[in-house]
Amino acid sequence: MTFDQIAKRLKEEALKRNHIEEISLDRPDPLMIASRYNDEFSALICALFAYGNVPAIIKFLESLNFSLLDSDETTIQETLDHHYYRFQNSQDIQALFITLHRLKKEGSLESTFVSAYQKSANVMDGLRALIAMLYDLNPYRSRGYQFLLGTIPSINPHSPYKRWHMYLRWMVRKDHLDLGLWQGVNTKDLLVPLDTHTFALGKKLGLIQRKTYDFKAVLELSESFKKIDPSDPVKYDFALYRLGQEKIFL
């Protein structure tokens, strides 16, 4: 397929899949739970646990009481004492809720991100400030907790930061799927939340030349999408993800 043919198909798929029925119990996605609460803190929890088997992710997220973010820390610890998910034990999950509870009392995820992002219109600057802020709010450390938050991005990141870029897509874009809860971030600056499906299909279609699943591959796919729509490149992420997930190779 030529690039123009691929672009035409992605435009069609993005339009076709931009409806609420695209995420359901039959077609699960963590965005389904995030949409139910429509809140930046609950959505971040949904995004950070979005790894592994999708039905298992949904089952775990359904077990959480997101109103705990407004409770005291003792109640958070007691309520989540028996919760765990893959790499996270109950202490890791308690720590995440406590960290977000502390930030929610002081300010917002949006303000922390936007103030750093706006200096150079660079979303990685925003993520660097936001992740650093979350670590500063809670001295708790463990392998599972640090897996959830990820490392504070360096100037030349290696990780794709897939779950964080997915969260930004949810927060910044506004359509029938993405929530559009944040202001002050331009959709043209968003980067693709690259996962195994979009990486494999992106390579197959020639949208990614890089052989390694890393941040440089994120930039390559984001640039390919920008050639289709410079103002909103990440518009095509969900469509490409579904095509890869369903093994429909255009």
Report, as an integer, the average pLDDT of 196-220: 96
Contact 177, 238 (CB under 8 A): yes
User: Rounded to two decimals, what is the model's pTM?
Assistant: 0.97
Q: Which of 35, 21, 58, 28 is nearest to 181 (CA)?
A: 35
Strand partners, 88: 85
Rounded Cα gap, residues 65 and 61, in angstroms: 9
User: Between helices 123-137 and 162-172, what is the axis angle to 10°?
Assistant: 110
Residues 6+ apart with CB under 8 A from 89: 142, 144
Locate the domains of the chain by residue range.
3-245
For residue 200, give the 3-state DSSP assignment: helix
Q: What is the mean pLDDT of residues 71-77?
A: 98
- Identify the pLDDT of residue 143: 98
Q: What is the mean pLDDT of residues 48-62?
A: 96
Question: What average pLDDT score do residues 22-46 get?
Answer: 95
Q: Which residues pair with 85 in a beta bridge?
A: 88
Do you know the residue count of the chain? Answer: 250
- pLDDT reading at 214 higher than 80: yes
**Which two structure tokens, joined as six digits, stand for 163?**
């779950």
Would you state the pLDDT for residue 247?
82
Q: In this predicted model, what pLDDT tens digit does every residue of 119-132 receive, in sequence order?
A: 999 999 999 999 99
